[in-house]
Structure 1
């Protein structure tokens, strides 16, 4: 599954960077996140409960940050297991662009793989769930930043969605 999108966040690039690296903020923003702990400056563990169609599972996972270029970009990679429900693994490139002093455009490109019962549900259900979860994440993230998100103009052919598929 591949997705990419851009979101306008009502905050400076430095503030968005700080929020993206704050486990307490991320825990509040990630739908279904029950635990998120920073285990090193570039690693986190997470527990996320997610429901995709008829399948509901608790995923335990590990996330690693790499290619750090503060406050501009990083690569996030993760994998998680939900027992019989399946597994998810993937990564995303996140890039921040200052549109103005108090608006940042967050660009992301995701590549994720899923297996087990989740993979049997079909890509349309999984993609629509990922888009819904991404929307919830960005609504909460924008609120944490002090406003509401606006979708940046998408290039033709781009798909939307993302974060829960990385951490779940």
Structure 2
């Protein structure tokens, strides 16, 4: 099952600060819902462990995240794949674009796609889409607070 999620977030911080945050494993770990571990393994790769609850299924997904199409500090593609054992798998990616939206304000836009399979995919598209949108909104809202807080200090 495939889905597309698009959105934007106005972040009261300069582009350079937002870009650093998007490449900081600690900030990403703190922003990703259910993230238990996120470790940088090279300049463009990280491995992650995320525990998610989708409907009645709670599973731990272990996987790898890759950054590509990097045009610092304006654009990158982040993609990843995780396996959740009997629960199934999830893979996807997002194009993330940063543009200046006034002095000291960055507009972050994203277009994400995801594919899920296994028991998770059997839950039904409405539940998966609504959960995915909720998780994306939670990530960007938390990320916004962390980055704008870092910019204020």
**TM-score, normalised with respect to structure 1:** 0.85
User: What residue is the counterpart of 2:138 in the other structure?
Assistant: 136
Q: Hey, what does 2:7 align to over in structure 1?
A: 5
Unpaired runs of 5+ residues, structure 2, are none
> The residue matched to 2:101 in structure 1 has which SS?
strand
For residue 131 of structure 1, report the CA deviation from its aligned partner.
1.5
Question: What is the CA–CA distance in structure 2 between the aligned matches of 1:139 and 1:76, rounded to whole Å?
Answer: 18
Secondary structure of the residue aligned to 1:102 is: coil
**Whole-Å separation in 1 of the counterparts to 2:9 and 2:142:** 13
Distance 1:91 1:134 in 2: 12
- Quick one: distance in 1 between partners of 2:114 and 2:48? 17
| Count of residue pairs the alignment pairs up | 147
Aligned residue runs from structure 1 range 19-168, under 5 A: 19-146=21-148
Contact 2:70–2:77 (CA under 8 A) maintained in structure 1: yes
- For the 8 Å contact 2:5–2:133, the answer to whether it is kept is no
Give the whole-Å Cα distance in 2 for the aligned partners of 1:28 and 1:62: 17
User: Which of 13, 16, 29 does residue 14 from structure 1 map onto?
Assistant: 16
TM-score norm. by structure 2 comes to 0.93
1:121, distance to aligned residue in structure 2 (A) = 0.6
